[in-house]
Chains A and B, each alone.
Chain A
Amino acid sequence: MYVAVKGGARAIENAHAWLAEERRGDPGVAELSVAQIRGQLTLAVDRVMAEGSLYDPDLAALAIKQARGDLIEAIFLIRAYRTTLPRLGATLPVDTGAMACDRRISATFKDLPGGQVLGPTFDYTHRLLDFKLAAEAAQPEAERAAPDLRPKPRVTEFLNQEGLIQDEAKAEDAPPDLTRAPLEFPACRALRQQALTRGDEGFVLGMAYSTQRGYGRNHAFVGELRIGTCSVEMEIPELGFAVEIGEVEVTECETVNQFAGSKTEPAQFTRGYGLVFGHGERKAISMALVDRALRWRELGEDDTGAPAQDEEFVLQHADNIQATGFLEHIKLPHYVDFQSEIELVRKLRAAAGEAPDD
């Protein structure tokens, strides 16, 4: 006699216990601490903060530990936590021009006020496995220079003085909040950028790459890429002025894009803009390229039908938490739907069998 499978609750409990054990791994090996993850896997921490839309390196490190290093799962943990936090108010826009830069490079000018600062980059490393790391040898301390306090004005401002680059209109209204209002189309640029900055790094990278290969091409120069800390200020109503409440590390990329002019605009350069939490230059550059591609309508360019120009396509599919949830849900039971499909196929096959050959 058939007995329906029961015991979902026990199966879930057992699965959770097994998962916890797998996460811990071999108990003979020392447990990874949250401080180690925060201090030594900083780029993973930064990605989780950027796509989790929550600037908290300790929580991001905890999420990475809990997620067994699955960064999308860690981002999900952060998002689910973030959504429960109260909104106390909005800060003033951060002034990235006053950033204390760890890295600041321009691909458009050889030298510029404030100088080029290479910073801690992989760019010119040779990708050879360093077996000394496997031996866990002590790392010699890097040489230190005096702090570079030269002001570093933004590169695009130099172009702007000549009118060579499109001026960006200053937004009057507070930007909409993607996490507090449903996404509706057409989306304004601020909303698109919010979606991009918390979008999946791989997706945004792929979209940006496609523009370089001719799907909505708008040849981009990296006018400037800068990484460093910015102070965050907030107006306190009781005080009547803004006070600094902390600082965040961000990566900012401004691209200078070719633009021949159109029916509505004179020939000048245009901009793409990327800004992400932490040290995330791949993401910031990608974001700037996609931001620029999505501006075709406002700049009077042609819609070439390229995926990166299509805001519904880009914005609806950039979020990895939405994407992975919907993708993975197909492993949940679907036997009711599948049963109705079986019935239909049987019926259609029976009908086809009865039909006279012609």
Chain B
Amino acid sequence: MTDGMQDYNFAYLDEETKRMIRRALLKALAIPGYQVPFASREMPMPYGWGTGGVQVTAACLVPEDRLKVIDQGADDTTNAVSIRGFFARTAGVATTERTAEATLIQTRHRIPETPLREGQILVYQVPIPEPLRFLEPRETETRRMHALEDYGLMHVKLYEDIARHGAISTSYAYPVKVAGRYVMDPSPIPKFDNPKLESPAIQLFGAGREQRIYAVPPYTRVVSLDFEDHPFEASKPDHPCALCGATDSYLDEVITDDTGARMFVCSDTDYCAGRRAEGAA
């Protein structure tokens, strides 16, 4: 490396820091959905750009890994490009845009459409790890509520949504209950992605600024909160993808001219490109 990065350790973080993060990760996997405080470091990218996810990825990467980074489902969004470049530079690991080929995927706001398999790790970037934060701003209070499994406030919020709007008015970062115990924020993924949280892959969540790590181990039960008479619904735009014709993928709405004409295309760029390569649509 000739760009001045040779003074840094593999995957940027020093081994002591990685060990501290791995301990937090192991604790998080042992207590699914529980937010483990960790001594988050200042990273060379700003808070809010995925510093938690980057630290978790740095602590998990080994030289044999093949890394995929997506933002909004896409590999080519600027921050995904930037984070992928960071690890290509500091860890020298192979990178890929193919979900199936990746051993570790760092994501912001989406779960890939292609089902994950055993042995893969999905790392989420988390802005606000606390699902109760907008109901109760105080950390001392929300930690107490989790400890006592006191989730009444959340159910009242969901009920009030229904009373006011006729439906639960949370469309992303939709709260889930993990392994029958902790209510967890799945990060701001659309609720369409919530069913994919039950997965054979390891799912790790890193919140850098808020100094929290949490996890969903493989094959863990993850239930989106709802009511018997208002069951959870993983909704998406009611269109097929205009490029690949997929009817089962989450779609971005793209405005195509100044009269407001629009089209719907897959948000997962790898899924869409893969289908088109196979000759769909």
Q: Which residue of A lies closest to B264 (CB)?
A: A339
Kindly state whether residue A103 has any CB partner on chain B within 8 Å.
Answer: no
CA distance A8 to B71 in the complex (A): 12
CA distance A150 to B171 in the complex (A): 69
Smallest distance from the beta carbon of B87 to chain A beta carbons, Å? 14
Known: A12-B81, A185-B139, A337-B190. A329 touches B49 (CB 8 A): yes
A-B residue pair count with CB separations less than 8 angstroms: 151
**Interface residues as binary, A3-34 with B (CB distance below 8 Å gives 1, 0 otherwise):** 01111110110000000000000000000000
Of A82, A328, A337, A347, the contact of B46 (CB 8 Å cutoff): A328
Kindly state whether residue B197 has any CB partner on chain A within 8 Å.
Answer: no
CA distance A154 to B171 in the complex (A): 59
Residues of A within 8 A of B37 (CB): 182, 184
Residues of A within 8 A of B137 (CB): 312
Give chain B interface residues in 134-191, CB to chain A under 8 Å: 137-140, 165-167, 169, 171-173, 188-191
Smallest distance from the beta carbon of A67 to chain B beta carbons, Å? 13
Whether the pair A351, B41 counts as a contact (CB closer than 8 A) is: no
Known: A12-B81, A80-B43, A351-B166. A343 touches B48 (CB 8 A): no
Q: Which residue of A lies closest to B12 (CB)?
A: A84
Known: A2-B256, A339-B190, A351-B167. A322 touches B71 (CB 8 A): no
- B interface size (C-beta, 8 A): 64
Of B42, B172, B191, the contact of A321 (CB 8 Å cutoff): B42
Smallest distance from the beta carbon of B96 to chain A beta carbons, Å? 15
Return 5 A-B CB contacts under 8 Å, by A number: A185-B140, A312-B138, A325-B47, A332-B79, A343-B171
Residue numbers of A with Cβ under 8 A of B are 2, 4-9, 11-12, 76, 79-80, 82-84, 86, 179-186, 312, 316, 321-322, 324-330, 332-337, 339-344, 347-348, 351
Residue numbers of B with Cβ under 8 A of A are 8, 14, 37-44, 46-49, 51, 71-74, 76-82, 85, 109-110, 127, 137-140, 165-167, 169, 171-173, 188-192, 209, 211-212, 235-237, 242-243, 250-254, 256, 263, 265, 267, 269
Known contacts A336-B72, A336-B250; 16 additional CB pairs below 8 A are: A2-B254, A4-B76, A7-B76, A8-B81, A11-B78, A12-B78, A179-B39, A179-B41, A182-B39, A321-B47, A329-B46, A329-B47, A332-B49, A336-B252, A341-B172, A344-B171
